[in-house]
Amino acid sequence: MKTVNEFKKLKSQSKKISMVTCYDYWSAKIIDESDIDAVLVGDSAAMVMHGFETTINAEIEMMCYHTAAVKRGLKNKLLISDLPFLSNRKGISFLMESIDKLMKAGAQAVKIEGADDNLELIQYVINSGIPVMGHIGLTPQFVHQFGGYKLQGKDEKAAEKFLDDAKKLEDAGCFAIVLEMMPSELSAKITKELSIPTIGIGAGPFTDGQILVLQDLLGMSKDFQPKFLRKYLNGFELILNSLNKFNDDVKNQNYPNKEESY
Ligand code: KIV
């Protein structure tokens, strides 16, 4: 998929949407040749690529750096980038300057966490010609308010609020909404009531699409195993074994051999 317009088209055809995060050039090149529909340069880059404990440490410079690297490897897929922590809370000029930098780095759309008083800003951004993806449920930039990475929307009041937020984000003009860590029943209801696609993570099987952090999907961390995560590769072990094999070959003078030498 190359444009945001295709998101709605896929939903109208009842076709599921697959997304992964990406933060670097060589992963982007592999994803570009895959069947994955679209790519997010998530602010999870702060955690996955830089080892911070939350996404709060993502800065616009960091997001632009990763967006530009991904863009160089991604020629055939839609590229969405996250607006980092507080960039929508420091005034409209700060927000627009941040978006300007992200778009010039190669993003075709931006993702903004939360609804409420963001709605007016989101509308302004969309009216400026920038496609916006919403994000509700467990919005990681609110982690300290939530008291951890916990399932959201469990009681009726919270569920109603998320449904209302989703409708308002659709009305504001978002082209899709990420639903993170909420009961399947709630994400199913939101998905049914919206005409724009929902992309789930830890939100069950009934959303219009799914997104996973690339390194999670590839099993790069041996300890990180939330219930929702299916690991499609044991990346940690495969890489560890390859490194140890190289080390053995070097130490045992098995590498390089004659064919590998000039
Ligand atoms: O930053 C991120 O990786 C995200 C997705 C997991 C939705 O926001």
Q: Model confidence over 51-75: pLDDT tens digits?
A: 999 999 999 999 999 999 999 999 9
Number of Cβ within 10 Å of residue 78's Cβ equals 22
Percent of the chain with pLDDT over 90: 99
For ligand 1, atom 8, the nearest C-alpha belongs to 42
| 201 Cα to the center of ligand 1, angstroms | 8
| DSSP letter assigned to residue 55 | G
Strands 209-212 and 17-21: parallel
Measured between alpha carbons, how far is 129 from 148 in angstroms, rounded to an integer?
35
| 213 Cα to the center of ligand 1, angstroms | 7
What is the atom index within ligand 1 of the atom nearest the CA of 55? Answer: 1
Taking residues 113-129, what's their average pLDDT?
97
Predicted confidence at residue 111, as pLDDT, reads 98
Taking residues 240-259, what's their average pLDDT?
98
Residues with CB under 6 A from ligand 1: 21, 40, 42-44, 82, 178, 180, 201, 211, 213
Predicted confidence at residue 30, as pLDDT, reads 98
Q: What value does the CA radius of gyration of the chain take, rounded to a whole number of Å?
A: 20
Q: Model confidence over 3-12: pLDDT tens digits?
A: 999 999 999 9
pLDDT classification of 123: cutoffs 50, 70, 90: very high
Choose the catalytic residue: 180, 193, 237, 259. Answer: 180
For ligand 1, atom 3, the nearest C-alpha belongs to 42
| 7 Cα to the center of ligand 1, angstroms | 18
Residue type, 36: I
Predicted confidence at residue 119, as pLDDT, reads 97
For ligand 1, atom 4, the nearest C-alpha belongs to 42
Q: Model confidence over 155-197: pLDDT tens digits?
A: 999 999 999 999 999 999 999 999 999 999 999 999 999 999 9
Q: What are phi and psi of 134, to 5 degrees?
A: -85, 170
Beta bridge partners of 136: 179
| 53 Cα to the center of ligand 1, angstroms | 14
Q: Which residues contact 90 (CB under 8 A, 6 or more apart)?
A: none
Predicted confidence at residue 107, as pLDDT, reads 98
For ligand 1, atom 2, the nearest C-alpha belongs to 42
| 242 Cα to the center of ligand 1, angstroms | 29
For ligand 1, atom 1, the nearest C-alpha belongs to 42
Q: Token pair 């984000």 is at which residue?
A: 169
pLDDT classification of 152: cutoffs 50, 70, 90: very high
What is the atom index within ligand 1 of the atom nearest the CA of 180? Answer: 7
What is the atom index within ligand 1 of the atom nearest the CA of 178? Answer: 7
- Is 180 among the residues known to form the active site? yes
pTM of the predicted model as reported, rounded to 2 decimal places: 0.97
Predicted confidence at residue 23, as pLDDT, reads 99
